[in-house]
Structure 1
Amino acid sequence: MTAARLTARLGAGESLGDRVMKVDHAGEHGAVCIYRAQRWFARWRAPEMSGELDEFLAHERGHRALFAAELQSRNRRRCRSYLLCGLGGFVLGAATGIAGRGAIAATTVAIERVVLRHMHDQIAVLDGIDPAAVAALRAIVAEEQAHHDRSVQRLTGGGWSRLIDPIVAASTEAVIWLGMRL
């Protein structure tokens, strides 16, 4: 991936690392909202997942805080897509939480697959250009990978994956694309 592909329109004095931190911060906010909604509905639909969802939620809150601190150190405001990510995340989390265990796991797999690919691309592009952004990204990749891998283990059959994966993956790509351009 090239810097040109990551960059569509940077604000005045904004670096590519600044924009990546903004978009990833908004994405982590979306993830927090997904897990909050899923956790609420999982009490009835997938109570065996409550502990795992609590753990994932704690990780995502930490990731959001890490990116928020990085934005603060750069004197940058959050991304314009922040509230959209939160609203979309809550709706997605509620819908998949109501659907139950398979839908919850399929959602995490689809999102994390896209997010991990973007984070690895971001690290490759920013390496040697923005060490602070690379450090922030590297600090969370392992937890995002663990969310993906644990959720893959929860998938049974392919029903929810076949339905949810293309929709959630495309939506995640669209939110990232939009965030890079706002």
Structure 2
Amino acid sequence: MDHKARAVVNVGRILKVNHAGEHGAVHIYAGQILAVRLRAKALAKELADFKTHEENHRAIFAGELQRRGLRRCRSYWLCATGGYVLGIASGLLGDKAVAATTIAVERVVIRHLQQQLADIGNSDPAATSAIMQILKEEQHHHDHSASRLSDPRRLDRAIDTVVSCATEATIWMGMRL
């Protein structure tokens, strides 16, 4: 397989994993929305807005997969299940845990999206456009949550470490399934 053909396969894989990741993000917010009703009701509207953003991101990547005739990633339902469990757990721990979770996930996602843009370059304008549409909102989620967590507790730092590692592992696994 020549270099150009490999790049097309890699872009397809990137789009599949991004689509699955956005599906996971939708479920993180769904789980958090369910759980904050018990601990931090004031967050429900904000989380619903973030969930809507993630649903739009998922649709953008789904459109790219459909346009290319690609099936979704094998990790699609794993991302949903893990995301939902993470959402419920962080939501039950309260508003600071929700913020710490969002910060950790988005920091990893932003780094990966930026690396994808560098890797893809000008070789696939449609993929580049899809990623760029999403990057700004992911940064907003991160920054908004960071503004709510000005003084992280020990639990928040632990959540950050665990969630960052889990997000990295999920992306790594998705790229290999």
State the TM-score bracket (shorter-chain normalisation): over 0.9
Question: For 1:13-162, what aligned pairs fall within 5 Å after superposition?
Answer: 15-159=9-153, 160-162=155-157
Q: Which amino acid aligns with 1:101?
A: D
More helix by share: 2
| Segments of 4+ moved more than 3 angstroms | none
- Give the Cα separation in 2 of the matches to 1:37 and 1:180: 25
Q: Which residue of 2 aligns with 1:7?
A: none
2:154 matches 1:169: no
Give me the TM-score of the superposition, normalised by structure 1: 0.91
Shift of 1:97: 0.7
1:106–1:151 contact (8 Å) kept in structure 2: yes
1:88-113 alpha-carbon deviations (Å, 9 max, x no partner)? 00110010011110100000000000
Shift of 1:161: 2.2
Cα RMSD between the aligned structures?
1.5
1:107-148 alpha-carbon deviations (Å, 9 max, x no partner)? 000000000000000001101111111110001111000000
Shift of 1:156: 4.7
Unaligned stretches of 5+ in structure 2?
Answer: 1-5
1:102–1:156 contact (8 Å) kept in structure 2: no
